[in-house]
Amino acid sequence: MAANNRPEALIPVLGVATDIRIDTPDVKTFRVVTPDGKKAFIHKPGQCAMLSIPGVGEAMFSITSSPTNEEYMEFSIKKCGCLTDWLHAMEVGQQITIRGPYGNAFPVDTAFAGQNLLFIAGGIGLAPLRSVINYVRHYRDRYGRVDIVYGSRSMNDLVDYQEIINEWCKEDGINVHLTIDREQEGWDGHVGFVPNYVTELNFPTDCIGIICGPPIMIKFTLAALEKMGFSKDQVYTTMEMRMKCGIGKCGRCNIGNKYVCKDGPVFRFDQLDELPEEYD
Amino acid sequence: MMKKCPVSALNTVLTALSGVAPLYLPVNGKGKDTRAKYTKYEDGMIYSTALNTVRSAKDFFFPQTENLVNFKVDGKNIEIIDPREEHEDFILFGVRACDYKSFDVLDRVFLSEPVDSYYASRRAHGIVFTMACTRPAETCFCTTFGIDPSEPQGDVSCYMTETDVYFDAKTEKGEVVLAKLGDLLADCEESTVNEQKELISSRMKALPLSSLSTEAFGGDKLDKLFDDPRWESLSESCLACGTCTYVCPTCQCYDIKDFDTGHGVCRFRCWDSCMYSEFTKMSAGQPRLTQMQRFRQRFMHKLVYYPANNDGLFSCVGCGRCLASCPISMNIVKVMKTLSEEAEDNGSK
């Protein structure tokens, strides 16, 4: 007797990598559709998906493309473990599995509506924010001023560099502030760490901050914003935790009474304060 | 209507039950390990009246390992194979009140949206005969969590005296099964087990852990408990063996892994333990670096986080298995007793 008419979140669907772009020495962006060329599912900016190579493993990745892209989904993935090594080694046309969408999303249609937005990203931390940035660009008239501060170790480590230069930088009302950690030949932009650059830029507090990057960068950037007068309830971030199920049952991403996979990954900093201080 | 049979006829009843659906019940081990384990009934097997089975009854709904999905990989192509089959009805006999309550704790995890179809199917097909605890053990503290072992619930509640076994159907499912036993059971008054219930209640009150209180715990106790300095001394000797989580009827954390069978890939889930260092380890780092943090997570989850999300219900049923199995004799009772005491000096925040 077949029971497979019951829905089951843990059983994935097929995806195909139709384009693989090399972003940096350790980041590639994968375009994924179903075998019949459609998007696997509808998502909201900030949500995630479980990608897997059967026999290798399954892991959670943020969906970097905007939901307004109706043709495909994209994932910018840093090579840092077994599964990501495998993903980096695969060729166009390779099938993978995908399930989702998981998690909450950035409140693009509620708390963000009509607001000035300040995106601050470090390294691969741009990946989850790209979905929001492109969503905001698509519905440009729904938002106010947009600032994007993005920094990486070097010029070569800036993810989505071509899109940033060719599209984001050329758009009216969007101010892109790029920075790299150390001086580099061929780079005439800003040099310095993201938190310091944010302090230098001295943003007015009439905006919502959205931070994503390495934990240390998030910590110092939040401190910089607070020093400038931002309060924690106007700054958002998206968290990373180990996950297996993605639906709040396997227990891995549990912090306090929250599950990052289902109640997060997007949190406001005042919400994080209510959770036990486990992951400073 | 309450029904009964003489103890001497229990095997005839069990044989008849096993004809209704596959029957699992506690049976003492043969050889060196004589502890009771849930075993598939075969004619002549003796039901063990041992208080607790080595492993809890959660195995029947949330087995230690379970196939989730299979894959065939051929070059760039993958085939996804759904292995799920509708489970057949089965009967669990002799489940204690604590283990029965653990199903409620698990239900709130696995049956909340999105429903876990593997668990849901097993749960829908399981028929549970509980057994009242006439002889509770010194490690028992189910009453701390509001469980009444004289009213063990389930589809059928059973009571056993020196001479008779009583059957009290609690659900329609239970009624249907008892009806199939026909003349093997005789009708009797509900009040016949009253004496038995009173005996159990008085024995529970006399147990050494009967005064254990949950007062210091609950969904609103995060700030008070999380930074308590006594987590350090409580967890100091923890070996991180995970035995407590494996014998626990309410622990439900799991891992998902792939296994290459040589003919394809089998993706399965298996029990996991928040006591293990790998549990939260990521390529980006390890959030819970010390055993104290991992130890604290397990007890905070049972006594604070779970109740915060589940109307105050604790994720412990007081079965006492962890008391008996921990190699360093650390357990939830010691944790609760220690943290319930007012902190010495002003060490606690």
Q: What are the tens digits of pLDDT across the range B161-187? A: 999 999 999 999 999 999 999 999 999
Report the number of distinct structural domains present in chain A: 2
Strands of B179-285, DSSP E: 186-188, 254-260, 265-271
Position A139 in a domain? yes
Report the number of distinct structural domains present in chain B: 2
DSSP A233: G
Distance CA B111, CA A189 (A): 54
Q: Give the number of beta-carbon pairs within 8 Å between A and B.
A: 134
Q: Does A210 lie in the same domain as A125?
A: yes
Interface contact A6-B84, CB threshold 8 A? yes
How confident is the prediction for chain B on average, in pLDDT? 94
Q: Give me the helices (H) in chain B, please.
A: 10-20, 97-110, 117-125, 172-180, 194-205, 222-226, 230-235, 243-247, 291-300, 306-309, 321-325, 332-340
CA angle B171, B177, B180 (to 5 degrees): 145
Query: Do residues B83 and B92 lie in contact, with contact meaning Cβ atoms separated by under 8 Å?
Result: no
Residue B235 has pLDDT above 80, yes or no: yes
β-strands B265-271, B90-95 pairing? unpaired
Q: Does B232 lie in the same domain as B197?
A: no
Sign of the alpha-carbon torsion through B279, B282, B287, B288: positive
Where does the pLDDT of residue B86 fall: very low under 50, low under 70, confident under 90, or very high at 90 and above?
A: confident
Position A18 in a domain? yes
Q: Does B226 lie in the same domain as B199?
A: no
Residue B286 has what pLDDT? 87
Task: Name which of B80, B284, B301 is nearest A12 (Cβ-Cβ).
Answer: B80
Residue B345 has pLDDT above 90, yes or no: no
Residue A46 has pLDDT above 70, yes or no: yes
Position A181 in a domain? yes
Residue of B nearest to A248 (CA): B109
Interface contact B287-A93, CB threshold 8 A? no
Q: Does B184 lie in the same domain as B39?
A: yes
Show the domain range for A138.
116-238
Where does the pLDDT of residue A4 fall: very low under 50, low under 70, confident under 90, or very high at 90 and above?
A: low
Residue B284 has what pLDDT? 80
Helices B10-20 and B172-180: crossing angle in degrees, nearest 10, is 110
Q: Which residue has the higher pLDDT, B72 or A173?
A: B72
Interface contact B253-A247, CB threshold 8 A? no
Contacts of B70 (CB under 8 A, 6+ apart): B80, B81, B83, B264, B265, B266, B267
Interface contact A97-B71, CB threshold 8 A? yes
Interface of A with B in 110-129 (CB under 8 A): none
Q: What percent of chain B has pLDDT over 90?
A: 91
Min distance A190 CA to chain B CA atoms (Å): 27
Q: What are the tens digits of pLDDT across the range B281-310? A: 988 888 899 999 999 999 999 999 999 999
Distance CA A260, CA A247 (A): 9
A84 touches chain B (CB under 8 A): yes
Query: Do residues A180 and A155 lie in contact, with contact meaning Cβ atoms separated by under 8 Å?
Result: yes
Distance CA A222, CA A200 (A): 14
Q: Does B319 lie in the same domain as B184?
A: no
Q: What are the tens digits of pLDDT across the range A71-124? A: 999 999 999 999 999 999 999 999 999 999 999 999 999 999 999 999 999 999
Interface of A with B in 21-50 (CB under 8 A): none
Q: If you average pLDDT over residues B8-13, what whole number do you get?
A: 96
Residue B347 has what pLDDT? 46
Closest listed residue to residue A137, CA positions, set A103, A164, A107: A164
Task: Name which of A12, A80, A254 is nearest B283 (Cβ-Cβ).
Answer: A80
A263 touches chain B (CB under 8 A): no
Query: Do residues B121 and B84 lie in contact, with contact meaning Cβ atoms separated by under 8 Å?
Result: yes
A104 touches chain B (CB under 8 A): no
DSSP A164: I
A216 touches chain B (CB under 8 A): no
Residue A56 has pLDDT above 50, yes or no: yes
Q: Whole-prediction pTM value?
A: 0.93
Q: Does B249 lie in the same domain as B168?
A: no
Q: If you average pLDDT over residues B256-275, what whole number do you get?
A: 95
Q: How many CB atoms lie within 10 A of CB B121?
A: 18
Q: The domain spanning residue A50 has which CATH number?
A: 2.40.30.10
Residue A1 has what pLDDT? 39
Residue B100 has what pLDDT? 98
β-strands A95-102, A174-180 pairing? unpaired
Strand ranges of the sheet holding A48-53, from the earlier edge strand across to the other edge: A57-62, A48-53, A95-102, A13-24, A27-33, A73-78
Q: The domain spanning residue A221 has which CATH number?
A: 3.40.50.80
Q: If you average pLDDT over residues A29-56, what whole number do you get?
A: 97
Residue B1 has pLDDT above 90, yes or no: no
Closest listed residue to residue B288, CA positions, set B219, B217, B329, B238: B238
Tokens matching residue A151:
């920094």
Position B60 in a domain? no
Show the domain range for B288.
222-340
Q: If you average pLDDT over residues B122-146, what whole number do you get?
A: 95
Residue B344 has what pLDDT? 56
B78 touches chain A (CB under 8 A): yes
Residue A2 has pLDDT above 80, yes or no: no
Q: If you average pLDDT over residues B196-220, what whole number do you get?
A: 93
